[in-house]
Structure 1
Amino acid sequence: MLNKEDTGLIVVDIQGKLATLVDDSETIIENCGKLIQGAKALGLPIIWLEQNPEKLGPTVDSISELMADQTPIPKFTFDGCNEVAFKHALNEAQKHSWIVCGIEAHICVYQTATHLANLHFDVHVVSDCTSSRDSRNKELALSKFASRNVKITGLEMCLYELVKDCRAPEFKQILNLIK
């Protein structure tokens, strides 16, 4: 089970034209925004990645506005774990569990999440907060995660797992995001 004391969020490459080309892009971007807002309400650290931003463009406005207090970590490898700044951010956060969202599910999300699991982190990919241009590639990634010790969760499931109690101070904020 996820707990807010030991969990962080990794936002992977929701940027440029690619973000609008993935399957069900509007829903994915909206759900990622809700996940980010929930993570902020719960006080989770957030690590924000951008793949080759000079070529692919910046993170979409609706997402970057939510993280205006942070700077994205540029990367050129598909696997974020191969970037020194990302490894530094992981060490600085000192969390064992990581929720992962972003695009594309079968490339950057898959490689980053799998590498994190290989490093013995507890990794949870949020299925309704990730996509690929072709829905079959997303399904392929989700099916491969199980054999790679990466857990699959959903937006509502992980946020309520983190809140745990309807008396928690963050509950109403989370409830309003999910409604």
Structure 2
Amino acid sequence: MNDDTGQLSRKIILLVLDMQETFLKVMPDRESVMARCSLAVSAAHLLGIDVVFTEQMPDKLGPTLPELLALAPDASVFGKTSFSALQAPGLEAYLQEGETEHLLIAGLETPICVYQTALAAQNEDYGVTLLSDALTCRRSDDGEQILRALRHAACHILPTETVFYSLLSDSRHPAFRSFTQLVKQYG
């Protein structure tokens, strides 16, 4: 990894919200969002970007899907009852300890936890990029309206590949070939 990405990766966190079977089984685009979240988690792991998972009431609603956790074995997992991930016990301290400046957000559900997490993050002066193809919700119209509102609130809303190719910056990056293999794998 080059020095620029190394410096950047310490300031960025991939925050994957509530990818639990209980929720995913009612999402119309389950397979697609799973593939894009898998790409995001794998790419973050490849580039040395910390991955954090949240779980909504895991004692009642179950854990994050094991296949996602397996892609980032060192990831931290924070349980929560609030809709904003930033209110998960311990998460804010974790972000501050790592001197986090920017959150990449994936997961569900766009009109609820994604929305409230993005706004809370901005209120705490974090930069926010929503991985548009790695987000989902039960009603796509609601999700589209929320993404428009968040764009208006100055959140960046970009596809997963766009974000990670931007982090690579150049096809000569040492992780470029591995990343393109991930793109093919999760395409």
Would you call these one fold, judging by a TM-score over 0.5?
yes
Q: Name the residue aligned to 2:125.
A: 120
Paired amino acid for 1:89: Y
- How big is the shift at 1:71? 4.0
Amino-acid identity (%): 29
Aligned counterpart, 2:160: 155
Equivalent pairs, count: 178
Out of 92, 104, 111, the residue aligned to residue 116 of structure 2 is 111
Question: Secondary structure of the residue that 1:84 maps to in structure 2?
Answer: coil
- Take 1:55 and 1:84, find their aligned partners in 2: how far apart are those partners? 17
CA deviation vs aligned residue, 1:89-114 (integer Å, no higher than 9, x gap): 11122121110000001111110111
Kept in 1: contact 2:50–2:75 (CA 8 A): no
Matches of residues 67-106 of structure 1 in structure 2 within 5 Å? 67-106=72-111
Which residue identity is paired with 1:104? E
Structure 1: how far apart are the matches of 2:9 and 2:73? 22
Q: Secondary structure at the match of 2:90?
A: helix
Partners of 2:45 and 2:58 lie apart in 1 by 24
CA distance in 1, matches of 2:171, 2:149: 34
Which whole-Å CA distance do the structure 1 matches of 2:86 and 2:74 have between them?
A: 23
Query: Within 5 A, what are the aligned runs for 1:4-15?
Result: 4=9, 6-15=11-20
What CA distance in whole angstroms lies between the structure 2 residues aligned with 1:20 and 1:29? 11
| Aligned counterpart, 1:26 | 31
CA contact (8 A) 1:4 1:163 kept: no
Q: Please, what is the CA RMSD of the aligned residues?
A: 1.5
The answer to whether the 8 A contact 2:42-2:72 is kept is no
- Corresponding residue for residue 17 of structure 1: 22
Q: Give structure 2 stretches of 5+ with no counterpart.
A: none
Secondary structure in 1 aligned to 2:54? Answer: strand
Q: TM-score scaled by structure 1? A: 0.93
Partner SS state of residue 123, structure 1: strand
Match of 1:66, SS state, is: coil
Distance of 1:46 and 1:35 partners within structure 2:
9
Separation of aligned partners in 1, 2:164 and 2:25: 25
Query: Are 1:146 and 2:144 an aligned pair?
Result: no
Q: Which runs of 4+ in 1 moved over 2 A?
A: 2-6, 67-71
C-alpha contact (below 8 Å) 1:47/1:89 kept by paired residues: no
The answer on whether the counterparts of 1:106 and 1:137 sit within 8 Å (CA) in structure 2 is yes
Q: Is 161-170 or 14-23 further displaced after alignment?
A: 14-23
